[in-house]
Amino acid sequence: MDLYLKMGLLLVGSVAVGASDISIYIPQVTKDIIGNITHETFVLVQPNCIFNQYITTNVWLVIALNKSFSSLNDSDLGTPVPYSSYRNGHHEYYHTLLVSAGQYPCSTTNSTLNVIQIGSETCKEKFCNGPLSNNQTYRVRFVLLNSTGIFDKTQWSNEMILQQDKPFQESIIWPSGRSGGMIVLTSILSVLLAILLVCLIAALVFGSRDICWKRTMINKQRMANWDFMSPSTYRSRRDPMYLES
């Protein structure tokens, strides 16, 4: 009984690792690297041992903007589109990383990290792996092409949202030695301004009683503040109880 069960499982296992393997594969961003997604690159797990039945077939990676990936059909994916055509806005996807399927082998040593970085090249050739656009959302899919077009393809990846360029990056390259002091000074000034603002608001709300100014200052301030007061505040200030205190 136990033996039959095991054989059954083996059989199911070997069926699953068949031709359908490619079509169920979902490209993944690696979790093994800090910086797996930056403002112009992302790092994928190599699809090792996925295409091993077609050693010599061409495998491309298609990189598409998330907003248009779902409208791409097999005839779009079957014709390689160069990076420049994506960069100049003519297409919203492109093909890159052409290799033969055998370049994603089954046997790899555990000591090497099997990843591919997308967007890492300065472009010199037509189908280069050029930089991506910051703050864009992408999806990728591997496609196998023969001479007539698409032969097989993986699933689309999940969406990958690139980082935004940081608007405050200039502050990091202030002249050395100064930046720390300037940051502290700016912080102190902001805090002082905030306190002043709170005092002003409190003064207006509570009629400037004992909040921030000394009692001796109140009378002088009162005259200066007159203009800013609504008629009701004005009246309450003339209230005998207030004048007593």
Ligand X SMILES: *[C@@H]1O[C@H](CO)[C@@H](O)[C@H](O)[C@H]1NC(C)=O
Closest CA relative to residue 99, chosen from 138, 50, 64: 50
**Interface mask toward ligand X for 36-75; x: CB under 6 A:** xx----------------------------x---x--x-x
CA distance 40 to 240: 70
**Contact (Cβ atoms closer than 8 angstroms) between residue 152 and residue 69:** no
CA distances from 225 to 2, 50, 113, 210, 219 (A): 92, 78, 70, 15, 10
Count of residues in contact with ligand X, rule CB under 6 A = 21
**Interface mask toward ligand X for 93-112; x: CB under 6 A:** ----------------xx--
In this chain, which stretch among 81-89, 158-166, 176-184, 221-229 interacts with ligand X, using CB under 6 A? 158-166
Which of 53, 79, 137, 171 touches ligand X (CB under 6 A)?
137
Helix (H) or strand (E) holding 97: strand 93-100
Closer residue to ligand X, CB minimum distance, 159 or 210? 159
Q: Provide the sign of the torsion angle of the four alpha carbons 131, 133, 138, 144, taken in this order.
A: negative
As measured in angstroms, the least distance from the Cβ of 169 to ligand X is 13
As measured in angstroms, the least distance from the Cβ of 67 to ligand X is 6
